[in-house]
């Protein structure tokens, strides 16, 4: 990846990396609170980053953050987490931190982030919105929970056996369970001359004194047990930040262990503040005590120890003062992972260690030779059968009554399953789980490398965007399992089509991308190579697939774009290939097309139209026009609501231009909700007059909007909120909704129809008219499309279709509205064929509600006014 420049603000330089001073700080920080905050920030055992809310630029990180992520501070300041590659993409980051925009905070969100060196880790995020001098910022806490999550999974297999032990054995077995507990942290601050010590919320929670923000000087430490008070007094005298541990008695009588560092802030010889950082380490102390209890020969008999280790996958070891193994015990039958008996008498560094870097091994050896306690040191050992396994060992030094070091004792555990799980996590982060192909993340990484290669060697590359034709229909008819099998076979065929240096990736669904590298210095030659491969893919994917014992034919649509050096961004290249693929779709599918700049212009036009629509909805540029629906006597019984857009620069924009774009972008959902809201409001207005209260309004609802999971609930809530009469509202649906999930459509229609909402099938006869589905749908009305009405007097086929629809509706007890009636002759023909409701220019054009001429309205039979 090319080096990226780092954006640094003057504030970040001035504050030494911690970012701008905080504004709007709580009162308890006082005038020197910002300096104290910097110290808390830097020395906190939590990994913390401070980012600007407006552009997500990282303003500050503490030392624990750099240790967790592996990034140096100068690598990240002035850049965003997406830019440094920590987040796979912007959408994932926005989803994880959406609580900041809505609630001002995010709590306990687990996500996989990419650390330095491309290492994925599972972290838990907590974040809060704060105000600083640079404006609103986000304080983000990261906690690595990868090992915790994997450890919990690894421990499940042993839980059934451990349940058979009594309570005392359970406490002893805690030594053999791999758990990680994240400590709670808090702090107190005292300023010279003040009578009170200010307490953080975390401090109060740890101390069990919730609800207090301050305490009289000295009383904030009254919970220290009498035996440990000299420990904290000494720390207060020294004020050197040295780590101390002591016990604390909570108001409820329970005793916890606390680790603390006490500091004094002095500037120019003047004491500015005293403060202490505290951490609840009760779990850690209990674990250490459990180790001591477990290994104590005076508290655990040999027989009980054998019973415990016989049920465990762990083993116990002892070394003498020269670090030679003198004892190894464990469940030999189940483990087969213990050091060979030949290792007894040898030191660990002489007994065959693998999988540890020289630096890590030297640090571990130095800690052992310094007689320090160590936990969860990971390395590989050789089984008795010669195979390697991953193990985690913990140990503590042994001293005699005179304080003389006599050796080590500790435990070991087979963590091979956890290591395999970590490898699986890394694999899933970069490879598609279904096909085993590289996923989008790995493709983008390789594409960036390919562009670097192209720049260095002055050669072209190409992207082929491949989409399977009619894949959705296969999924809907034969099921997702069959669809998945097709995707796997497609992946295999694509891999067979390319060179070993090329990349085949799956973006998701039925979308694949092939990346070709080093295909020539001359553009025409590169295009020829890319086209030849595209044709090869067409041939390969047009061969029948064997799915569940049946032959299935599939075909692809392929879009191709070339790349050269750094002419375009990664996203722009994918976008170009995607546009070319859609050009293949438009050309009839099962073909390939190269990217054409005109496609980009059309896409840009659509994007601009989409942006204008969204802005237009905010500016009230949309309005409803109403076209009358009349009965046989010419009296208006209702209207159809038709959406119009009056753009300040474009003028009146045709629905044929903006509705398809709204469908493509998903904006049709918001537009559709607006139309229903305005129509319901109009029904309420009309209900106040006897001349209009009997009118109904028909509203076209797109298939996409109707299929939305909460469509029925939203419409019910809208009717309840506005007070509109549901019997006066008709929902017009198109036949396209019959193509999938008819049962869901029936359920929604039945629910809404139960409160009075009517349903009409629009443009009947122009789409997928299945009589079996038609008789199941709870419809009230069919609408004869104007394409049949237009030539009903001159085309015998259209006349026959119109009569058939009217006859069919009568047999199904459905009403019919004929659309597009423009002449008396058309009306008379339809009336003579049994039609009783009409709509068209003969009776009125679509107009704003203020221009609508209301004729005598009649109540539809069977419906209350």
13-17, 182-186, 730-734: segment of lowest average pLDDT: 13-17
Among residues 336, 344, 420, the alpha carbon closest in space to that of 382 is found at: 336
- pLDDT at 314 exceeding the cut of 80: no
- Residue 376 CA to residue 412 CA, distance in Å, equals 8
Q: Is pLDDT larger for residue 440 or for residue 299?
A: 440
Q: Which helix (H) or strand (E) holds 577?
A: helix 570-586
| pLDDT score at 637 | 95
Could you say which DSSP state residue 313 is in? S
pLDDT in tens, 612-633: 999 999 999 999 999 999 999 9
Is there a contact between 138 and 129 (Cβ–Cβ < 8 Å)? yes
- Bridge partners (DSSP) listed for residue 150: none
Residue that the structure tokens 């929970």 belong to: 145
Is there a contact between 759 and 733 (Cβ–Cβ < 8 Å)? yes
pLDDT bin (cut points 50, 70, 90) of residue 188 is confident
Is there a contact between 558 and 592 (Cβ–Cβ < 8 Å)? yes
pLDDT in tens, 218-240: 787 888 998 888 888 888 888 88
Q: Is pLDDT larger for residue 167 or for residue 252?
A: 252
Q: Best-predicted range by mean pLDDT among 384-393, 481-490, 523-532, 770-779?
A: 481-490
- DSSP line for 843-856: T---EEGGG-----
Tell me the percentage of the chain whose pLDDT exceeds 70: 83
| pLDDT score at 211 | 67
Q: Could you give the count of Cα atoms lying within 13 Å of 123 in the half-sphere of its Cβ?
A: 25
With a CB cutoff of 8 Å and minimum separation 6, the contacts of 543 are 493
| pLDDT score at 689 | 93
Work out the average pLDDT over 779-807: 91
Q: Where are the beta strands (DSSP E) in 404-491?
A: 405-414, 460-468
- pLDDT at 505 exceeding the cut of 90: yes
Could you tell me the end-to-end alpha-carbon distance of the chain, in angstroms, rounded to an integer? 70
- Residue 324 CA to residue 337 CA, distance in Å, equals 19
Q: Could you give the count of Cα atoms lying within 13 Å of 49 in the half-sphere of its Cβ?
A: 27
| pLDDT score at 331 | 53
Exposed, middle or buried: residue 573 (CB in 10 Å: 0-12, 13-18, 19+)?
buried
Q: Best-predicted range by mean pLDDT among 28-37, 154-163, 795-804, 856-865?
A: 795-804
* Paired tokens of 540: 């390969």
| pLDDT score at 449 | 92
pLDDT bin (cut points 50, 70, 90) of residue 242 is confident
- Residue 445 CA to residue 433 CA, distance in Å, equals 18
Distances (CA, A) of 346 to 326, 340, 349, 397: 9, 11, 8, 18
With a CB cutoff of 8 Å and minimum separation 6, the contacts of 400 are 406
- DSSP line for 521-547: SSHHHHHHHHHHHHHHHHHHHTS-EEE
139: helix, strand or coil: strand
- Residue 54 CA to residue 58 CA, distance in Å, equals 11
- pLDDT at 595 exceeding the cut of 90: no
Q: Which helix (H) or strand (E) holds 817?
A: strand 815-818
| pLDDT score at 682 | 97
| pLDDT score at 290 | 67
| pLDDT score at 780 | 93
| pLDDT score at 167 | 47
- Residue 90 CA to residue 94 CA, distance in Å, equals 6
Is there a contact between 827 and 848 (Cβ–Cβ < 8 Å)? no
Exposed, middle or buried: residue 147 (CB in 10 Å: 0-12, 13-18, 19+)?
buried
Among residues 380, 356, 437, 422, the alpha carbon closest in space to that of 119 is found at: 422
Among residues 452, 666, 447, the alpha carbon closest in space to that of 571 is found at: 447
Work out the average pLDDT over 318-329: 85
| pLDDT score at 713 | 94
Return the sign of the alpha-carbon dihedral for residues 646, 652, 656, 660: negative
Exposed, middle or buried: residue 561 (CB in 10 Å: 0-12, 13-18, 19+)?
buried
């Amino acid at each position: 990846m090319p080096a990226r420049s780092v954006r640094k603000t003057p504030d970040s330089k001035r504050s030494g990396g911690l970012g701008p001073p905080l504004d709007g700080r709580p009162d308890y920080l006082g005038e020197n609170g910002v300096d104290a905050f910097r110290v808390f920030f830097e020395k906190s055992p939590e990994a913390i980053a401070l980012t600007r809310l407006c552009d997500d630029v990282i303003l500050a990180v503490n030392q624990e953050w750099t240790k967790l992520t592996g990034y140096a501070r100068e690598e990240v300041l002035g850049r965003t987490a997406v830019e440094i590659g920590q987040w796979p993409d912007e959408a994932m980051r926005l989803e994880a931190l959406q609580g900041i925009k809505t609630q001002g905070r995010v709590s306990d969100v687990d996500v996989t982030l990419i650390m330095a060196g491309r290492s994925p880790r599972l972290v838990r995020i907590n974040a809060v919105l704060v105000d600083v001098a640079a404006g609103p910022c986000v304080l983000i806490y990261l906690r690595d929970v990868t090992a915790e999550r994997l450890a919990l999974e690894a421990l499940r297999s042993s839980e059934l056996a451990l349940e058979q032990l009594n309570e005392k054995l359970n406490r002893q077995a805690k030594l053999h369970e791999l758990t990680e507990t994240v400590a709670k942290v808090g702090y107190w601050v005292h300023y010279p001359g003040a009578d009170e010590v200010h307490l953080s919320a975390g401090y109060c929670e740890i101390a069990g004194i919730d609800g207090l923000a301050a305490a009289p000087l000295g009383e904030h430490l009254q919970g220290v047990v009498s035996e440990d008070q000299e420990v904290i007094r000494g720390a207060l005298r020294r004020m050197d930040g040295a780590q101390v541990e002591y016990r604390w008695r909570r108001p409820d009588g329970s005793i916890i262990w606390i680790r603390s560092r006490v500091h004094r802030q002095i500037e120019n010889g003047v004491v500015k503040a005293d403060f202490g950082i505290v951490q609840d380490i009760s779990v850690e102390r209990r674990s250490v005590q459990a180790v001591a209890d477990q290994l104590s020969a005076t508290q655990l008999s040999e027989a009980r120890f054998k019973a415990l280790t016989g049920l465990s996958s762990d083993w116990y070891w002892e070394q003498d003062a020269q670090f030679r193994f003198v004892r190894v015990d464990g469940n030999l039958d189940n483990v087969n992972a213990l050091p060979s008996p030949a290792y007894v008498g040898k030191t660990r560094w002489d007994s065959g260690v693998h999988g540890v870097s020289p630096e890590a091994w030297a640090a571990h050896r130095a800690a052992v030779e310094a007689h320090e306690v160590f936990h969860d040191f990971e390395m590989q050992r050789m089984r008795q059968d010669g195979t390697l396994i991953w193990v985690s060992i913990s140990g503590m030094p042994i001293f005699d009554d005179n304080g003389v070091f006599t050796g080590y004792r500790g435990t070991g555990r087979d963590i091979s399953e956890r290591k395999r799980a970590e490898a699986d996590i890394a694999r899933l982060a970069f490879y598609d789980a279904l096909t085993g192909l590289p996923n989008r993340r790995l493709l983008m990484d390789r594409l960036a490398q390919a562009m670097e290669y192209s720049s260095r060697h002055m050669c072209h590359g190409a992207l082929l965007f491949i989409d399977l034709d009619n894949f959705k229909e296969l999924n809907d008819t034969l099921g997702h399992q069959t669809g998945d099998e097709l995707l796997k076979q497609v992946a295999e065929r694509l891999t067979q089509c390319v060179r070993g240096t090329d990349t085949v990736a799956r973006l998701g669904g039925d979308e694949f991308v092939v990346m070709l590298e080093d295909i020539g210095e001359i553009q025409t030659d590169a295009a020829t190579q890319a086209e030849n491969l595209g044709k090869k893919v067409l041939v390969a994917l047009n061969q029948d697939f064997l799915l569940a014992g049946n032959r299935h034919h599939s075909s692809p649509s392929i879009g191709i774009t070339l790349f050269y050096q750094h002419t375009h961004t990664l996203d722009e290249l994918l976008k170009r290939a995607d546009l070319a693929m859609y050009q293949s779709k438009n050309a009839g599918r099962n073909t390939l097309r190269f990217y054409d700049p005109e496609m980009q212009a059309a896409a840009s036009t659509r994007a601009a139209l989409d942006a204008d629509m969204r802005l237009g909805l905010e500016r009230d540029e949309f309005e409803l026009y109403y076209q009358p629906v009349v009965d046989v006597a010419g009296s208006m019984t209702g209207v159809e609501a038709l959406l119009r857009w009056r753009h300040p620069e474009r003028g009146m924009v045709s629905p044929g231009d903006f509705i398809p774009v709204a469908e493509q972008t998903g904006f049709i959902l918001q537009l559709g909700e607006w139309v229903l809201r305005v129509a319901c409001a109009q029904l309420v207005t009309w209900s106040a007059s006897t001349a209009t209260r009997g009118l109904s309004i028909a509203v076209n609802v797109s298939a996409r909007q109707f299929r939305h999971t909460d469509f029925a609930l939203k419409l019910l809530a809208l009717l309840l909120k506005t007070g509109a009469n549901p019997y006066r509202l008709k929902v017009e649906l198109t036949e396209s909704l019959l193509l999938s999930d008819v049962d869901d459509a029936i359920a929604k229609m039945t629910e809404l129809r139960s409160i009075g909402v009517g349903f009409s099938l629009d443009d009947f006869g122009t789409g997928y008219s299945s009589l079996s589905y038609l008789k199941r749908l709870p419809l009230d009305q069919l609408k004869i499309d104007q394409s049949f009405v237009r030539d009903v007097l001159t085309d015998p086929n259209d006349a026959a279709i119109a009569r058939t629809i009217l006859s069919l509706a009568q047999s199904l007890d459905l009403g019919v509205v004929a659309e597009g009636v423009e002449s008396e002759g058309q009306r008379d023909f339809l009336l003579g064929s049994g039609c009783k409701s009409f709509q068209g220019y003969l009776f009125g054009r679509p107009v704003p509600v203020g221009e609508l001429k209301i004729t005598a309205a009649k109540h539809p039979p069977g419906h209350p006014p």
